[in-house]
């Protein structure tokens, strides 16, 4: 059918343009960062070779790259989904913590449950932890009381305090007096790992969530309603679309996805609840979703790139004597390049 072939050609050309765009952004950022390293008296070529050798040409380094990529994918989708309605979810970090906290509660409350029951339970509780924490700003936004950007941002500071209270108080492991943390979770609650590495089933869950996000946007009438609300909420309301309900649902689902990232960290990486279980995955996921424009392919590419960048920080500390803060410099360079490529509103007027 000619129309089908035309639609397929347009989709392929759009995907190709997106990949070329993301590649151009990455190469430009690396070139600017190389200039910064030269000004600091460092060898940028050696820095990039060391980074490549550790992350992509090394089996252990590549496995750790995928471990870092897993929560980045989930927290990016947690931001991208509500953004389709014009909502700004800055609370991915807090939602991640609450997902980890409630999933941990499930593992500690039912330590003797069989694996077929306990593993789905902790996954559902992880989702609920993030969803409930995001639903509150959604309700406030739907009622036109508080902007969701402010509410989700401020809640980021509350969630780690709840985790700290738990591991310093009722969930504290008596055998970990020097470093407060929860007891080790039962084996039945832990995610399966692969290839004798820390890669766990959460990676496949994250890819499945990303695929479901694409299907929702492109293949369902719900995706059409979401885009309609994001384009003009007042017009969508007049067409009979329940805008207030969509606001709460979209933020809750986004928060639940971030909660799955927290569940994956405690059940797939740490094996217990700890302070500082996230080095800022929620904030980095927000940046990834924003740079990718909410596009699934862009989220996948940017999550992979950011996983390489954050992994490179450890390598550059050892090989170049650079502080880990250089990672923030490179991320800022990428951000400024994207900003420079976007025309200002009204510039053509």
pLDDT digit string, tens, across residues 271-280: 999 988 998 8
Find residue 193's DSSP bridge partners. 200
Unique residue bearing structure tokens 């510039």 = 347
Alpha-carbon separation of residue 324 from 313, 320, 329 (angstroms): 5, 11, 10
Closest to 179 (Cα-Cα) out of 168, 190, 188? 168
Closest CA relative to residue 246, chosen from 231, 259, 261: 231
Most confident of 11-15, 163-167, 313-317: 163-167
Cα(164)–Cα(181) distance, rounded to whole angstroms? 9
For the record, the structure tokens of 121 come out as 């339970």
Structural contact between residues 93 and 171, judged by C-beta atoms closer than 8 angstroms: no
For the chain, the domains span 69-280
In this prediction, residues 60-80 reach a mean pLDDT of 94
- Let me know how long the chain is: 349
167 CB-side CA count, 13 A: 26
| Model pLDDT for residues 150-189, shown as the tens digit of each residue | 999 999 999 999 999 999 999 998 887 678 899 999 999 9
Tell me the pTM.
0.89
pLDDT at 348 over 70: no
């Amino acid at each position: 059918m000619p129309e089908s072939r035309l639609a397929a050609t347009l989709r392929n050309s759009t995907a190709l343009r997106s990949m070329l765009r993301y590649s151009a952004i990455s190469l430009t950022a690396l070139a600017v960062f190389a200039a910064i390293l030269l000004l600091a008296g460092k060898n940028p070529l050696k820095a990039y070779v060391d980074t490549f050798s550790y992350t992509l040409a090394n089996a252990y380094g590549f496995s750790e790259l995928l471990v870092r990529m897993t929560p980045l994918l989930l927290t990016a989708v947690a931001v991208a989904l509500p953004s389709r309605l014009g909502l700004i979810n800055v609370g991915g970090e807090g939602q991640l913590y609450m997902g980890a906290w409630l999933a941990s509660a499930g593992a500690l409350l039912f330590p003797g449950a069989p694996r077929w029951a306990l593993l789905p339970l902790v996954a559902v509780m992880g989702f609920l932890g993030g969803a409930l924490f995001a639903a509150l700003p959604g309700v406030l936004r739907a009622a036109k009381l508080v902007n969701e950007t402010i509410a989700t941002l401020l809640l980021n500071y509350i969630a780690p305090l709840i985790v700290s209270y738990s591991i310093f108080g009722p969930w504290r492991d008596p055998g970990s007096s020097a470093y407060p943390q929860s007891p080790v979770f039962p084996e039945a609650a832990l995610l399966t790992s692969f290839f004798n590495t820390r890669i766990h089933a959460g990676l496949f869950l994250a890819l499945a969530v990303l695929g479901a996000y694409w299907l929702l946007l492109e293949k369902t009438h719900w995706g059409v309603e979401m885009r309609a609300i994001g384009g003009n909420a007042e017009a969508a309301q007049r067409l009979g679309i329940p805008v207030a309900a969509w606001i709460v649902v979209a933020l809750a689902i986004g928060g639940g996805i971030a909660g799955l990232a927290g569940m994956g960290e405690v059940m797939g990486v740490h094996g217990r609840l700890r302070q500082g279980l996230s080095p800022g995955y929620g904030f980095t996921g927000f940046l990834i979703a924003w740079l990718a424009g909410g596009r699934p392919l862009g989220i996948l590419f940017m999550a992979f790139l950011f996983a390489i960048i954050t992994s490179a920080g450890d390598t550059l500390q050892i090989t170049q004597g650079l502080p880990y803060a250089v990672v923030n410099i490179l991320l800022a360079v990428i951000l400024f390049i994207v900003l420079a490529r976007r025309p200002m509103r009204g510039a053509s007027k």
